[in-house]
Structure 1
Amino acid sequence: MNDGPTSHRGRARKAIGHELVRRSFLFSLSIILSTLVGVASIPVLIGQLGDTTWARLAVLQSIAQFFAVIVGFGWGATGPSTVASLPPTERKAFFATSLLARLLILVPVLGAGTFIAAFIVHDDPIIAALVSLTAVAPAAAAGWYFIGTNRPVALFLFDALPAILGQGAALVGVLLAPSLLTYASCTATFAVLGLLASCVFVATRSADGQWRVDRSQTLRGLLSDQVPGFTATFTTSLLTTLPIVIVKLIVPATALPLFVLADRLSRYAGLVLAPILQAVQSWVPEAGREHIRSRGRIAMLVACAIGVVGAIGMITCAPWVAPLLSQGAITIPILIAVVMGLGFAGEAISQVTGLAVLVTLGRSRELALSAGVATGAALLGVLGGTLLLGVPGALIALALTSIGLAVYRSRTALRGLAAESA
């Protein structure tokens, strides 16, 4: 066997040229730019609006993201794997049918979201409406469709770019006229433009079949099929939305920015995982049932590697990044950074295993069940932890939940993969 330098170089080139690596790189372009703009916005918004107003905006955005999950109704979770397994001529009809269902959900959800967000945060209903629209418009767009059909360029142009341009315009607007209304108006405008552009793009792709609504089942039946995916994403959204609301209601206003910044850094770290998850969601199922076992195991190994690297990065970087982004207003102790790192590792493993492997194995019910149990446990933990320890207690509860969810989904997926080969 030749284990010399030439052989090692050959294996390295093969690994770099792997289809999963190539897809992850292409999908990562959208994530990288979105992350850079999001991170850059933190010091600008804190400097122009103040840390407490910035924290209030973060609460509004979290509530809006919760309602965006309702509008998406599970297509973001199950859509990529489903559309990847469909014949190309049936894909456009699948999207058109889902679009009609989501638009029917969007209008009442937007109204309810505006009222609830304004009531909780005690803010202007117009601002609450614009922040809500910024979140729910992309939920009705074609982002998941581009992931499932392996179109990273379209994902960037019609999903990431409108958000980036909206954020950029909003930051310029805030510098000229510092107010939440200026910021929300800019982001909402570009979100709506992105929705319209993505739908037009899908409608004009002749290779994906005809643009038509599938009338073979009722709207109720269609939504019923989406219940497992919706349940998983809905309960997960509770896990990302309610903790910040709970913390806001319990801790003093001066302590809220610490939790918000820790939450934001964890989410931005999670964006590192997003391109890999997007690539894996279409890569695992598209080669057919005979390759699910091998591809599923590879996906889980990749998730573990990302989790370890991300945890180390979080522990190392969070303590010095926090003062830099907040202009010295917020600091993150090393112990909190450790908790954040462990939470990220659990999140990486549970997300890839659940959305790519369990969905492909046809175990969406286990995905939904695990998300529901984890959400209930986490919210109780956040409530108790915040009452006892404040912000650190809330972060510890969230990290423990992520780790427990990763363990359960990994065991379930490994059993399913073993049964697939039997």
Structure 2
Amino acid sequence: MRRAAAQARHLGLFVLAPLVASLAPVLVMPAVTATAGAAGWAAVAVALAVGGAGHVVAELGWSLDQVQAVARADAEGRRELWEAGLAAKLVAASVVAPACGLVAALVVGEHALAAALVAGGTVLTGAASPAWFFIGAGRPGASLVSDALPRVALLLVAAAAMTAGAGLVVYGLLLLVVPVVSVTVASLVGRLPALPSLHAVRSAPRIVGTRVTILRGRAISTVYTMLPAAVLGLVSPAAVAAFSAADRPMRMGFAVLGALPARLQNWLGSAPASERTRRVVVAILLNTVAGTVAAACFVLLMPVVAPVLFSGTVALETPLLVAVAALLLVMSVSRGTALGLVSLGEAERITAAVTAAALVGLPALVLGGATGGAVGAVLALVLAEGVGAAVQGAHLRRALQGRARVRLETAARQGAARAHGVPVTALFSHRGMGS
């Protein structure tokens, strides 16, 4: 009974950490719309989209496969992973953040400085987040304290300042403070270095080089998953506010759903070989069920929540909400298949899926946004995510079939060995392999 209660608390922290982190931008939304209206929200939405895209690149795909690496590592190995990740991601962010700030400033019509600061701060906040490390270590409480709470606290300050009359610039300035506080708290809670060693910094370019395949996939994915607001700003400016008003809360909800794969990362990473296939199937089913429930809740609750979030300045029609809910479901399925590929050591296959999705998604996004506005853009994203999930599913099926074939061949060799009186261990020795 006591053990069950402890496990429930542990799972609750896995849910609470991303939930609190996702609340941070929600707390700022009413202050943004009340201070600067729909134009201010559109500028911030574009900046968050551009910054989110940059964060995906600067993060180097670390949370894709290194979470399970932390789960498997000992204390010394975890410390090395922390330093390597912090150094490599900060080096990448030092290039990506200014570029994203410039792009955001050029795309928006008003509030260019605020948009630049929000975009750059979003990149740095995401890249420096210690959540990946503490999730892999099975310490969701440390993730909550070091990652989620600093975001909420500082953005509450930003919301209060904007409500008191400060401009949108204060939002971006405080976002730049978040990564400093977050890494500092993580170093204290986790007894980790607040700054990477000189060796880790020198090794950062080499580490970035080893991440090229995964990074290429992550970079491509930003084109069709994180930049629709920016694309809409070019092909259908009037649709940006409605699209972002539906898309941003959905992605915040999707981040909360991340508690499930976060918990599964450690479970999958520590699985014995004989259990891995079953756990992969369970992970996909759980993500699909969670996505279905979340999609239904989104359609039912957003008509009530949206007027509060956006101060009644943005109207959300039912077709848009249904389209975004469908996108949420497909993204959940895709997330489950991606987890399976990582667990089977096939993380680089995700790049092929992302590439296929981008080839379909980018032109569909431009066409859908120009002809169908916000709904057209969302349907383009549904199509892109569906293609990506299908490609991942095909690779996953092939990998699982390969594992099943190897198990059958191994069992057959063991059976033949026993029939002829050969020790089974000889099958796995150097001589036993026929050399």
What TM-score, normalized to structure 2? 0.84
Offset at 1:96? 1.0
Equivalences for residues 8-407 of structure 1 within 5 A: 23-122=10-109, 123-125=111-113, 128-129=116-117, 131-204=119-192, 219-253=204-238, 255-354=239-338, 356-407=339-390
Q: Is the 1:78–1:229 Cα contact (8 Å) retained in structure 2? A: no
Offset at 1:127? 5.6
Question: 1:409 corresponds to which letter in structure 2?
Answer: Q
In structure 2, what is the Cα distance between the partners aligned to 1:165 and 1:412?
42
Size of the aligned set, in residue pairs, is 401
Q: Is the 2:364–2:380 Cα contact (8 Å) retained in structure 1? A: yes
In structure 2, what is the Cα distance between the partners aligned to 1:113 and 1:248?
15
Question: 1:289 corresponds to which letter in structure 2?
Answer: A
**Which residues of structure 1 form unaligned runs of 5+?**
1-12, 206-210
What is the DSSP-based 3-state SS (H/G/I as helix, E as strand, rest coil) of the residue aligned with 2:262? helix
- Any idea what the Cα deviations from partners look like across 1:352-377, whole Å, max 9, x if unmatched? 220x2111111122111101221231
- 2:392 maps to which residue? 409
Q: Is the 2:33–2:313 Cα contact (8 Å) retained in structure 1? A: no
What is the DSSP-based 3-state SS (H/G/I as helix, E as strand, rest coil) of the residue aligned with 1:364? coil
- Any idea what the Cα deviations from partners look like across 1:345-401, whole Å, max 9, x if unmatched? 1101101220x2111111122111101221231111110111222221111111222
Q: Is the 2:24–2:151 Cα contact (8 Å) retained in structure 1? A: no
Question: 2:227 corresponds to which letter in structure 1?
Answer: L
In structure 2, what is the Cα distance between the partners aligned to 1:139 and 1:328?
33
Offset at 1:138? 3.6
Q: Is the 1:92–1:212 Cα contact (8 Å) retained in structure 2? A: no
In structure 2, what is the Cα distance between the partners aligned to 1:400 and 1:291?
33
In structure 1, what is the Cα distance between the partners aligned to 2:310 and 2:197?
49
In structure 1, what is the Cα distance between the partners aligned to 2:283 and 2:6?
13
Question: 1:190 corresponds to which letter in structure 2?
Answer: V
Q: Is the 2:284–2:337 Cα contact (8 Å) retained in structure 1? A: yes
In structure 2, what is the Cα distance between the partners aligned to 1:287 and 1:305?
22
Question: 2:349 corresponds to which letter in structure 1?
Answer: E
Offset at 1:247? 0.4
What is the DSSP-based 3-state SS (H/G/I as helix, E as strand, rest coil) of the residue aligned with 1:50? helix
Offset at 1:148? 0.9
Offset at 1:125? 4.0
In structure 2, what is the Cα distance between the partners aligned to 1:186 and 1:94?
28
In structure 1, what is the Cα distance between the partners aligned to 2:24 and 2:74?
37
Offset at 1:124? 4.1
What is the DSSP-based 3-state SS (H/G/I as helix, E as strand, rest coil) of the residue aligned with 2:348? helix
Q: Is the 2:90–2:127 Cα contact (8 Å) retained in structure 1? A: no
Question: Which has the higher Rg, Structure 1 or Structure 2?
Answer: 2
Q: Is the 2:47–2:115 Cα contact (8 Å) retained in structure 1? A: no
**Which is worse superposed, 141-150 or 98-107?**
98-107
Q: Is the 2:134–2:142 Cα contact (8 Å) retained in structure 1? A: yes
Offset at 1:234? 2.2
What is the DSSP-based 3-state SS (H/G/I as helix, E as strand, rest coil) of the residue aligned with 1:279? helix
CA change 1:214–1:229 in 2 (3 A) is farther
In structure 2, what is the Cα distance between the partners aligned to 1:127 and 1:272?
25
What is the DSSP-based 3-state SS (H/G/I as helix, E as strand, rest coil) of the residue aligned with 1:363? coil
Offset at 1:220? 4.4
Offset at 1:203? 4.4
Identical-residue share of aligned pairs (%) = 23
What is the DSSP-based 3-state SS (H/G/I as helix, E as strand, rest coil) of the residue aligned with 2:258? helix
Q: Is the 1:30–1:156 Cα contact (8 Å) retained in structure 2? A: yes
In structure 2, what is the Cα distance between the partners aligned to 1:372 and 1:18?
42
Q: Is the 1:138–1:194 Cα contact (8 Å) retained in structure 2? A: no
When the two chains are superposed, the root-mean-square deviation of aligned CA atoms in Å is 2.7
Q: Is the 2:268–2:280 Cα contact (8 Å) retained in structure 1? A: yes
Offset at 1:131? 4.1
**Which is worse superposed, 144-153 or 99-108?**
99-108
Offset at 1:283? 1.2
